[in-house]
Structure 1
């Protein structure tokens, strides 16, 4: 029987340049998330009977 790994803990020690890149990336992710969330809320306000847009649907809309 094989052993299943349930998780891995990892710690990063980025230098200043890498830290700035990570903050930029997280900021971009937060912006996109907020835009998609607002779109979903607006869709619900316009039609409360509409189905929720799941992760796959949002990925499709993002492209």
Structure 2
């Protein structure tokens, strides 16, 4: 895992800005509500989990907001 991901500088940053400091991402998980919804705003980094055997972290993200779909 890259140093910036460890010290928390990437947390809550927009994913597009954090990608450089995170390096290659192993898995990207998008948290979403349990009902049909569309994401609004930017994807933000919520958590960076330890790197896999190839040195790529799992990154958990969420949109800034969600709008429920009927």
TM-score where L is the length of structure 2? 0.21
Work out which structure has the larger RCO, using CA pairs closer than 8 Å and 6 or more positions apart in sequence: 2
TM-score where L is the length of structure 1? 0.22
- Structure with greater Cα Rg: 1
Give the structure with the larger strand fraction. 2
